[in-house]
Amino acid sequence: MAMNLRLRDDQTDAIRQRAEQEGVSMHAIVLQAVDDYLARTAQQAIVRKTAKEQAAKWHELMERLK
């Protein structure tokens, strides 16, 4: 899918510099950033879901231990 991405000048400069340092395209840097974000937020969602499930599972015991 094609899309337009409007970055601030400082963001564009930073991406350009990083791309030059790593010897890859700016496009590759942005794709990696998107992949990293998606992986990180997916992991956070799993942790939140698991925490809620465990809190519900052990709620009664925790109340008795207060």
Is residue 16 within 8 Å of 26, Cβ to Cβ? yes
- Please report, in angstroms and rounded to a whole number, the separation of the first and last CA atoms in the chain: 54
Q: Rounded to two decimals, what is the model's pTM?
A: 0.65
- Domain range for 58 is 9-65
pLDDT band of 66, cuts 50, 70, 90: confident
Structural domain contains residue 47: yes
Structural domain contains residue 2: no
Residue 4's alpha-carbon distances to 7, 17, 36, 50, 64, in angstroms, are 10, 21, 20, 36, 55
Pair of tokens at residue 56: 């519900």
Structural domain contains residue 34: yes
pLDDT at 26 over 90: yes
Q: Which residue has the tokens 């840097």?
A: 29
Average pLDDT, stretch 54-65? 87
Structural domain contains residue 28: yes
